[in-house]
Amino acid sequence: MKNNYATSSSSPTATRTHKAGEEGKGPIKIRVIGFAKLVGDLIDGLLLIMLYFGAAALIATAIIYLPSPAACAVPRW
């Protein structure tokens, strides 16, 4: 009888693929952070910074160009 190592968990060489965010239960934890992950994190941060400055520019534009009620009042002489 042949042992099917692909389905057998008793084999010392059996491997299991983990999904993203899932960790194994062994005593050793290995976290792989590669260049692509680093670049992705930098791009995410850059997008947040661009969103922040875009919102700040819109608020500043609104404050500068929208007239205040005092400026719209007709002077009564």
Amino acid at 46: L
Asked if residue 75 is part of any domain, the answer here is: no
Asked if residue 19 is part of any domain, the answer here is: no
pLDDT of residue 75: 67
Asked if residue 36 is part of any domain, the answer here is: yes
Asked if residue 10 is part of any domain, the answer here is: no
In this predicted structure, the answer to whether residue 44 has a pLDDT above a threshold of 80 is yes
Q: Domain of residue 34: give its range.
A: 28-65
Asked if residue 45 is part of any domain, the answer here is: yes
Q: Is residue 12 very low, low, confident or very high in pLDDT (cuts 50, 70, 90)?
A: low
Asked if residue 11 is part of any domain, the answer here is: no
Higher pLDDT, 30 or 48: 48
Asked if residue 16 is part of any domain, the answer here is: no
Asked if residue 38 is part of any domain, the answer here is: yes
Q: What is the total count of domains within the chain?
A: 1
Question: Which residue, among 25, 23, 22, 33, has the nearest Cα to 9 in the 3D structure?
Answer: 25
